[in-house]
Structure 1
């Protein structure tokens, strides 16, 4: 679909003109009840079912409103919701209107429609990415807190507590209690690395298997070496400094860097299924006979 940010006409505009649809520009749910704060709803007949599509091309709020108007103009469609934020379109419709019919309508507006399987995999990959961010941040805080409270004062004495407190903390680290302390830190930082940096690890392995030394491989190798060094310093006679905190900071930084679009933003290919070659759809994954439908994507 051509860009319409500068007023150029698009296929969606052409469909609206051909059907004589009047959809106010700048609105996303013309015709739904209410225009103020809170979710907008529309009444749908009891037998109607719901289909959700993952699409590309809803780039503006204006397109949301136009697309919803086009869908509601179809016979058998009682409510429609287009959401620019996550690229989804929800349609409440009579069972006589097939998913393929709705797909053709969307494609006639210049949108790229993912298959049902692909849409599900994309949503699942997005959920996993959010879960990795949560694991990285929460486990990173759980590692950083003991370091700030116990280890950093003993390493940078002038910055923290008085000498008596520092001596007490050092005595704790010299006792057998330190073993349990470092076991917890090692487990937390290790789990955070394996879970949050799973995509980095898989890409690094694939690159090495192909004989390529990638930045992912360098990152994974560096963090693994640092973790191994810290483990040796904590649980063997090796005299070194335990740096599980640096492992946690690296995991948090890399995860946030990737998730918020500064680094690689494409979904991990191991977690998203390829689009079927024949373009066929799987059975719909959303159906409801609830007579009240959200028509603004849940905003």
Structure 2
């Protein structure tokens, strides 16, 4: 059975073929309409099941095992759920998954991966939402006064400037400072922790430079807003930097901690061998993502 991407057989295909499962209709494997009450549920964290076909093949392989009443594989979050008889051990199910060319996280790692993924998504939400909450007042009030030739008529600009010169400006900047500060601490929490650890070790990293720059910009803006020395308040730049760094870390760059952990895991799993001419050299192997 061809591999989804390279036109060659994979270990999952070999298991399906050896067990006589109809690969043209993976869902035709043995099914149980209702999960028996004594059955328990186990969840495994894997990575590499990146197509619908592989989800269905893996589910068919698991359901074909004695004592398994239901199985579900989800590529989106890298999890495999199995309902099974208590007599079927978790280690036995793990061996079945590994026989399909997967490397499975231990139970505690699976929990850590799910929790870390949820926190990462929450940090993205905080960075984006708080960034919008900071940007909106700037666009409505501050930018017109700084670029008056680009925005409203002189009377409107003068009115907005009078608001900034009044006592109302204190509450205005308190809100902006609180929003941008919370966004920085929450969304960039992992970066701040790693930067502090690097500083304690006497090292200077790119993350340290970023965290130090944002902290300095926040401190400067706070002084400009509440001490009256005449500087420009740049809470907007703080919010933009936090949102940009968070989105880049989540979608565009790997977590350094994840890379270190993934390298260790790949070294430990490098001894898996595939029969020559039968299985693909580039079999999908599920590596742990280091909790990212």
TM-score bracket, normalised by the shorter chain, equals 0.7 to 0.9
Instruction: Report the alpha carbon displacement of residue 82 of structure 1 after superposing the two structures with TM.
Output: 1.2
The answer (yes or no) to whether the contact 2:39–2:86 under 8 Å persists in 1 is yes
The answer for the alignment partner of 2:217 in structure 1 is: 226
The answer for the alignment partner of 2:20 in structure 1 is: 20
For residues 98-130 of structure 1, the C-alpha deviation after alignment (integer angstroms, 9 at most, x for no partner) is: 212111111122210111100000000000000
Unaligned runs of 5+ in 1: 34-40, 276-299
Query: In the alignment, which of 50, 55, 60 is matched to residue 59 of structure 1?
Result: 50
The answer (yes or no) to whether the contact 1:199–1:268 under 8 Å persists in 2 is no
* Cα RMSD (Å): 2.5
Query: In the alignment, which of 8, 29, 35 is matched to residue 44 of structure 1?
Result: 35
The answer for the alignment partner of 2:199 in structure 1 is: 208
Higher helix share: 2
User: Matched residues in 1 for 2:91 and 2:206: separation?
Assistant: 43
User: Matched residues in 1 for 2:16 and 2:164: separation?
Assistant: 72
The answer for the alignment partner of 1:179 in structure 2 is: 170
User: Matched residues in 1 for 2:89 and 2:140: separation?
Assistant: 61
Structure with more contact order per residue of length (Cα contacts < 8 Å, sep ≥ 6): 1
Q: Does residue 243 of structure 1 match 2:234? A: yes
Q: Greater CA deviation, 243-252 or 53-62? A: 53-62
The answer for the alignment partner of 1:102 in structure 2 is: 93
For residues 232-281 of structure 1, the C-alpha deviation after alignment (integer angstroms, 9 at most, x for no partner) is: 11111311100000000101111111111x12346669xxxx99xxxxxx
Q: Normalised by the size of structure 1, how large is the TM-score?
A: 0.81
Q: Quick one: structure 1 residues 174 and 246, their matched pair in 2 at CA, closer, same or farther if it must change by over 3 Å?
A: same
Instruction: Report the alpha carbon displacement of residue 228 of structure 1 after superposing the two structures with TM.
Output: 0.8
User: Matched residues in 1 for 2:63 and 2:200: separation?
Assistant: 51
The answer for the alignment partner of 1:263 in structure 2 is: 253
Residues 159-174 of structure 1: matches in 2 within 5 Å? 159-174=150-165
Instruction: Report the alpha carbon displacement of residue 60 of structure 1 after superposing the two structures with TM.
Output: 3.0
- Secondary structure of residue in 1 paired with 2:82: strand
The answer for the alignment partner of 1:113 in structure 2 is: 104
- Secondary structure of residue in 1 paired with 2:86: coil
- Secondary structure of residue in 2 paired with 1:79: strand
